[in-house]
Amino acid sequence: MSRIHRLSTRLANQIAAGEVVERPASVVKEVLENSLDAGASRIDIDVESGGVKLIRVRDNGDGIAPDDMPLAMARHATSKISSLEDLEALGSLGFRGEALASIGSVSRLTLTSNAAGTGSEGIAAACEGREMDVVIRPAPHPRGTTVEVRDLFFNTPARRKFLRTEKTEFNHLEEVVKRLALSRFDVAFSLRHNGRAIHQLKAGTDELERRRRVATVCGPAFMEQALYIENERGGEAAYGLRLWGWVGLPTFSRSQADLQYFFVNGRVIRDKLIAHAVKQAYRDVLYHGRHPAFVLYLDVDPAQVDVNVHPTKHEVRFRDGRSVHNFIFSTLHRALAEVRPGTAHVEQLPDNLVPAGDGTMIDTRTGEIREQGGLSWGVQPSAAAAGGLPAEGQRGTSAAPSGAYGRYSEASSAAGQAQLAAYRQLHQALPGQDSEEDVPPLGYALAQLKGIYILAENAAGLVLVDMHAAHERITYEGLKAARDQQGIRSQPLLVPQPVAVSQREVQVAGEHADLFRRLGMSVDAAGEESLVIREVPVLLRDSNLEQLLRDVLADLIEFGSSERIEAHMDEILSTMACHGSVRANRRLTVPEMNALLRDMEETERSGQCNHGRPTWTQLGIDELDKLFLRGR
């Protein structure tokens, strides 16, 4: 080892650049954040060769005063914070004061600006990755700033070798522009690559313009199958939380997590705590291995968020992470639970749950129903919440006579038989004899196909229902409701099971003893590094209790909460529901099919079976006409 010495300015800046400037997309992110902080209402981005040859960003923001220009390229120089108090309640995107210095150390950088109210015609500063010698000269420029970055990594060839193809680098760069465009609807963005216009995004703050921008960035298919949510609370925390945005229906899932945008106070982030909350909200409705799509915004007191935990500012730390996690989870969980075929009246939706679609509520009476995601999704009081779900003993079982269905089984109680008779009387008329106002969302059953599918007619056209998948969800939700109403049954272990853990895990188990008791588990400390399981839920008596306990403790340490115990119980209930549901080739009468349709309209999450597969789909008259070339 050599003697301690001070690094040269150039080397120090290049080391900092290694943290901040990973690729051309990193440069665009830093420069765009500066433009947004400067109050720009329009930003134009021109790039060549994926951003390696040229990146030019022009904005109409406040600009930089002539006297401040030499400092603009110095390390740790910023106009955004001046004290520790500012750092603890940040309202700006950039604050480190390293971006331009780092970029300038690995490129040929020119900064041209004209500040409002200074009387200057414009001034330029340039440097070329040497000892950061900044050359200042007059340069005419309208109000705002232009940052021009040429020949990125020209003086660090080793870094340049790690860059990917031009197409790949531009895709990363474009993604950065998309994220920031979604964060600020009030700012116009334009992006050109090698002289070709890629994006022209107009500014707009009304609801229609916001939806239009989201559809442009995420694709119209996302907006057609997305719910708009908005929820706000003060609640347990001493500060307010507001979550709003669009979440894709479970049927609109992705093979990769490539359509997920989450913003905290306008800053795009990728955070483990938030990702876990969203994943848990979709757990019961998403097909295995698929990923949800969403564009969500969380507004919180800046003093409750620490954004100074990562050089690229992609991660944040919340002062009360558990409260934030629970708020996001509960909001999304309830929104997804209320997705069902229902009424088209916005005012009936709780918590501002509004279907986004193309921006309007789609009424079944108009026939404007395209596909499952575009159907009029509404909310009706759930049978579970209203106490309408019978106890398990009142349900039809697999031993019931052929043709029986659920609680409307021929073999059910006298009350059930009377209910079935009422349904038969109600639905005996042909579907076409009812007025469109009286036609329910899933319409009336016409026939059964191959003992698998129910064919029904509604105001829009033809509805196809997978009867086993639909009944499976209805039975599953009924089992969960019964469990929640009757509580979780527990049983003591004949021989308590010891589990060797760390001291931290023993401490966490003690802190969350009430949580374990509420979920039917009794876990006690048996030493400084040992726990003992004395009691477990009846449903989990055959599970791997040691691994379950370790997983729950890991979640509690990482996220402050855990749904693993509920998830394991739900998996067992799901299996029970699958075996207890109507099977293929089981003939149902028309009244029984109609009873199933009505139950689907009342049951939470009825759009998907327990495994995340769709339970029904819609074929509108327009689609049927196309199949037979009608009107041509």
Taking only the tens place, the pLDDT of each residue in 440-495 is 999 999 999 988 999 999 998 999 999 999 999 999 898 888 888 888 888 999 99
pLDDT tier, 40 (very low <50, low <70, confident <90, very high otherwise): very high
Q: Quickly tell me which residue has 């500060």 as its tokens.
A: 239
**C-alpha count within 13 angstroms, C-beta hemisphere, residue 392:** 17
**Percent above pLDDT 90 for the chain:** 44
Which pLDDT score is estimated for 341?
A: 77
pLDDT tier, 595 (very low <50, low <70, confident <90, very high otherwise): very high
Q: What is the CA radius of gyration of the chain?
A: 30
Q: Are 282 and 336 in contact (CB under 8 A)?
A: yes
Q: What secondary structure, in 3-state letters, does 254-282 show?
A: ECCCCCEEEEECCEECCCHHHHHHHHHHC
Six-digit token string for 622: 């327009």
Most confident of 418-432, 446-460, 549-563: 446-460
Six-digit token string for 229: 């949510």
Which pLDDT score is estimated for 132?
A: 60
Lowest mean pLDDT among 26-40, 129-143, 169-183: 129-143
Most confident of 71-85, 431-445, 483-497: 483-497
DSSP string, 575-587: HHHHHTSPPTT--
Taking only the tens place, the pLDDT of each residue in 175-225 is 999 999 999 999 999 999 999 999 999 998 888 899 999 999 999 999 988
Which pLDDT score is estimated for 443?
A: 93
Which pLDDT score is estimated for 131?
A: 60
Taking only the tens place, the pLDDT of each residue in 338-349 is 887 753 333 233
Taking only the tens place, the pLDDT of each residue in 306-326 is 876 666 667 788 888 888 999
Burial 131-155 (b: 16+ CB within 10 A, else e): ebebeeeebebebbbbbbbbbbbeb
CATH numbers and ranges of domains, the chain: 9-201 (3.30.565.10), 207-348 (3.30.230.10), 501-569 (3.30.1370.100)
Which of 313, 318, 376 lies closest to 344, judged by CA?
376
Taking only the tens place, the pLDDT of each residue in 227-269 is 999 999 875 445 689 999 999 988 888 889 899 999 999 988 8
Q: Does 435 have pLDDT greater than 70? A: no
